[in-house]
Amino acid sequence: MKSRRAGPPDGGYGWVVVMSAFFIMGLTAAVLKNFGLFFLDIQSHFGVPTSTTSWVTSTTIAMFHLGAPVASVLTAQFSQRVVIMVGGLLAASGMLLASLDLSLPWLFLTMGVLQGMGISLSWIPANSMVSHYFVRWRPVAYAIASSGECVFAFIFSPCFQWLIETYTWQGTLLIIGGLQLNLCVCGALMRPLETVPSPIQETQGCLEGNAAVLPPKRKVIVQCSLMRKPELLLYILFAVFAAAGFFIPPLFLVPFASSLGMDTYWRALILSVLALADLAGRLICGWIANVRLFRNLQLLTMVVTLLGVVLLLLPISHNYWAILVFASLYGFLFGCVVAIHVTSIVDIVTLEGFDNGLGLFMLFRSIGGFIGPPAAGEQS
């Protein structure tokens, strides 16, 4: 006997889910994007080289990705609501414990492992909920939800810089941990779609005289059979290479600007401008994807190619305005990629396999995310 989820409402309470996901993106990915503001303070505090300091962020990114299959399995076993709330507790605990400033390995464990796992357990189910609540408006709904990362990154950049100067980086981590407790509130708003009986189940219910129907067992095993799809394998390969460069500019733009002698707040402004351009890219590309001018994968190929060109040109900028222009272009194109790279998974594995497909995608993407920042730190 099987049950199925109710059809996506494409609106209604779905917009509450979108707004909840908006705040989840802001309290997870936007915080990670602003790790670069802590980079120089942590490096000088412990007296370690750039490549060693970058392992803190690299560990966070790796755990964010490695936790994706765990998040998918837990979502299938329990619900998106429960998993997001647990993720919020882990993320907040990571920052609160990191503020104790015991040692650099302690930061690897707290800011790295706990924070990364907390982000994963919050971010993955939030994306899943948006995809399950929408069909027709899915690209627009995801673009709005993911734009929370940009809006909060824009706000956090100057705020975190002020907090660091006022309360030190340790005190700022404590405050961020308190903010991330709001992930539990966002998770509570994530109402799962109701499960309705399938036609077969309804027929059997009538024949058995309204006998009690046992609840279906949830599938808790990651569907590795999806790896047989050559399209998914190629998409995972793209993810590995993309993740190797995704997180490098936000992490190293602040140290790069510092090496050119720029003022503290001007350096923070670069991240704010990048976040605004990122927001514009997500909303515009989400709209283009929704009007179906191109297939999602075709559109993704175009913007990724342009993004690669911009990243090649970024290191040649040696004054503030040149950095600002290239950071804006990078932010816009990065936003375009983010707006459609998750929804493209549905095109490859269908909505039924989306949760597992996203988990596998994020798992393998961790390879690039783990190697990229330390490799860039060695070259800086």
Note the pLDDT of residue 212.
Answer: 40
What percentage of residues in the chain have a pLDDT greater than 70? Answer: 86
Note the pLDDT of residue 256.
Answer: 75
Note the pLDDT of residue 210.
Answer: 46
| Range with the largest mean pLDDT of 162-166, 194-198, 210-214, 240-244 | 162-166
Note the pLDDT of residue 25.
Answer: 93
Note the pLDDT of residue 173.
Answer: 95
Note the pLDDT of residue 252.
Answer: 73
Note the pLDDT of residue 98.
Answer: 94
Is 277 within 8 Å of 327 (Cβ atoms)?
yes
Selected residue with higher pLDDT from 43 and 182: 182
Note the pLDDT of residue 85.
Answer: 96
- Residue 26: pLDDT above 90? yes
Least confident of 3-12, 132-141, 333-342: 3-12
| pTM of the predicted model as reported, rounded to 2 decimal places | 0.74
Average per-residue pLDDT for the chain: 81
Phi, psi of 82 (to 5 degrees): -65, -45
Q: Return the structure tokens found at 253.
A: 């733009």
- 14-33 helix and 80-98 helix, angle to the nearest 10 degrees: 20
What pLDDT digit, counting tens, does each position of 126-161 carry?
A: 988 998 888 888 878 888 898 898 889 888 988 998
What pLDDT digit, counting tens, does each position of 83-100 carry?
A: 999 999 999 999 999 999
What percentage of residues in the chain have a pLDDT greater than 90? Answer: 24
What pLDDT digit, counting tens, does each position of 152-169 carry?
A: 988 898 899 899 999 999
What pLDDT digit, counting tens, does each position of 33-84 carry?
A: 888 788 888 888 888 887 788 888 888 988 988 888 888 889 888 889 999 9
Q: Return the structure tokens found at 62.
A: 């790796």
Selected residue with higher pLDDT from 106 and 270: 106
The model's confidence at residue 286, banded by pLDDT at 50, 70 and 90, is confident
Note the pLDDT of residue 22.
Answer: 95
Q: Which amino acid is at 71?
A: A
Note the pLDDT of residue 233.
Answer: 84
Selected residue with higher pLDDT from 324 and 352: 324
Mean pLDDT score, 207-225:
47
The model's confidence at residue 266, banded by pLDDT at 50, 70 and 90, is confident
Note the pLDDT of residue 338.
Answer: 81
3-state secondary structure the chain: CCEEECCCCCCCCHHHHHHHHHHHHHHHHHHHHCCHHHHHHHHHHHCCCHHHHHHHHHHHHHHHHHHHHHHHHHHHHCCHHHHHHHHHHHHHHHHHHHCCCCCHHHHHHHHHHHHHHHHHHHHHHHHHHHHHHCCCCHHHHHHHHHHHHHHHHHHHHHHHHHHHHHHHHHHHHHHHHHHHCHHHHHHHCCCCCCEEECHHHHHHHHHCCCCCCCCCCCCCCCCHHHHHCHHHHHHHHHHHHHHHHHCHHHHHHHHHHHHCCCCHHHHHHHHHHHHHHHHHHHHHHHHHHHCCCCCHHHHHHHHHHHHHHHHHHHHHCCCHHHHHHHHHHHHHHHHHHHHHHCHHHHHHHCHHHHHHHHHHHHHHHHHHHHHHHHHHHHHC
Note the pLDDT of residue 199.
Answer: 52
- Residue 214: pLDDT above 60? no
Note the pLDDT of residue 224.
Answer: 63
Selected residue with higher pLDDT from 263 and 215: 263
Note the pLDDT of residue 201.
Answer: 47
- Residue 185: pLDDT above 80? yes
The model's confidence at residue 28, banded by pLDDT at 50, 70 and 90, is very high
